[in-house]
Homo-oligomer: A and B are copies of this chain.
Amino acid sequence: MVRVVVVGGGAAGASAAARARRLDPNAEVILIERGSMITHAPCGMPYAIGGIVKSHEELMTYTPEEFEKERNIKVLTRTAVVDVDVDKHVVVTRRGETEERITWDKLVIATGAKPLVPNIPGADLKGILTLRHPDEVPDLKGHLEKAKTVAVVGGGYIGVEMADVLLDMGKRVLLFEMFDQVLPASLDPDTAAVVAEEMRGRGVELHLGEKVVEFRGAGHVNKVVTEKGEYQVDEVVLAVGVRPDVDLAVRAGAKLGETGAIYVNEYMETTVPDVYAAGDAVEKTHRVTGRRVWIPLAPTANKEGQVAGGNAVKGRVMRFPGVVGTAVTRFHSLFIARTGLSEREASQLGYKTQSALIKARTKAHYMPGAETVHVKLIAEESTGRILGAQVLGRSQVVASYVDVMAVAIQSGYTVSDLFFADIGYMPDAAPVWHPLIVAARVLSRGKL
């Protein structure tokens, strides 16, 4: 009987454990989680903090008890893995004061990512909050509810979503981003400007191109110091990025990739025999460029976990083909989605690009309830191959437009292929010239 030990109960780990169990009913599967929840969704944390989601426990898909009973997976919560011996096939766990040694035949490392804390004075003051685990929601909420003025440091997905939620909570919100646009890792300056306008319009005090250099306070933070000024605040949400949690992988002797995340092949095997890794801790292959990237997102983690768990018990039965960089966020009613490469990324990688940014409507011009949608497409000039897409609008369909583009991009579509794609129409669902088709047409520079 094979024993599979999975470290980390988030998307990748829970998915790996469930898959191993499903493919091998005789395997012993043990899932070890540092916190109290498994199958938790950190992506939902802003909404649990803001109160749209009533309890952080709703962010779980399964409780540990359900996982144990319904799936016959042994779940150890509040249990940290503090060491690993790959020769003896053992992990050392700690729960409270108790250490235990657990042997394994196959090990899946799904240790996820953790928030970056910048190495600046005052970063260890109280009141400087990060979002990592749904467990921490009640505590975060407690801190933020008392605050009048909150600084959000970092204008990525979490920063943008937290700024939205904090406004809804009635706070004065200052957002600091060292780059001169929001969502610098995701959007180009032209689309980011649409988001910035929306944020300012709703009342966020947006400080772009303004790097935070120090936090000050007596025990508890009360001032954010940037290169340009000093700001009185009651609390700080630190959202300057995340990094892969590779401690256990390093202890196991697994190679790290060029991105600093765990190196795995398409079978989710690390460089150490019998040791797999999946989720936010590992790097992935980008399907547009073929390069190694680190893009930690939940749907990818789920699928990687599934591949790792299946291969752990059955050998190389599944392959993870990589990602194209699809991601979605929302500020108030504005949905923001992107896939592929941004124009800046493409340029940095040496592509000569063409792009088009259009404004269109989500329904036929004569139907009520249409929303404006901004579509940016980026293509390689020499081949017409589509490299990326960015879509923004006050409708959930924006995310699906980007899903269409994700499939088109990973299928190697040219601008012409997209123009002739058989995309649907009825007056209340889309204009007869769908915004994506219009964008393809504009991008063709008269050829379509």
Contact = CB atoms under 8 A, between A and B. Distances in A.
Interface string A365-408: 11110000000000000000000000000011111111110111
A250 interface: no
Interface stretch (A78-86, A171-179, A274-282, A416-424): A416-424
Contacts of A404: 400, 403-404, 407
Contacts of A425: 43, 297-299, 328
28 contacts: A22-B446, A43-B364, A47-B428, A53-B367, A287-B422, A298-B432, A299-B432, A299-B437, A306-B448, A328-B425, A330-B429, A335-B428, A339-B422, A396-B396, A396-B429, A397-B397, A399-B429, A399-B430, A400-B401, A400-B404, A400-B430, A403-B404, A403-B421, A406-B422, A406-B424, A407-B411, A407-B423, A408-B411
A399 B429 CA distance: 6
A77 interface: no
Interface in A36-53: 41, 43-44, 47-48, 52-53
A300 interface: yes
Interface in A340-382: 362-368
Interface stretch (A91-99, A118-126, A221-229, A319-327): A319-327
B53 A426 contact: no
Nearest to A299: B425
Nearest to A401: B400
Given A52-B368, A424-B406, A429 B337 contact: yes
Nearest to A423: B403
A16 interface: no
A302 interface: yes
B426 A330 contact: yes
Given A47-B427, A408-B411, 17 more contacts: A22-B446, A47-B366, A47-B367, A48-B366, A303-B419, A306-B448, A318-B448, A322-B422, A326-B422, A326-B424, A337-B429, A397-B399, A397-B400, A400-B400, A400-B403, A407-B411, A411-B413
A265 interface: no
Contacts of A287: 422
A396 B362 contact: yes
Contacts of A397: 396-397, 399-400
A119 to B, nearest CB: 30
A326 B396 contact: no
A366 B410 CA distance: 30
A61 B365 CA distance: 8
A106 interface: no
A363 B47 CA distance: 13
A411 B287 CA distance: 16
A429 B52 contact: no
B43 A426 contact: yes
B423 A299 contact: yes
A196 interface: no
Contacts of A430: 328, 399-400
Contacts of A363: 396
Given A44-B366, A44-B427, A408 B407 contact: yes
A251 B421 CA distance: 33
A430 B298 CA distance: 12
A424 B157 CA distance: 13
A189 B15 CA distance: 34
A424 B399 contact: yes
Given A422-B325, A424-B337, A302 B448 contact: no
A437 B400 CA distance: 13
A395 to B, nearest CB: 7
A278 B292 CA distance: 46
A424 B339 contact: yes
A428 B330 contact: yes
A44 to B, nearest CB: 5
Contact of A327 (B299, B339, B424): B424
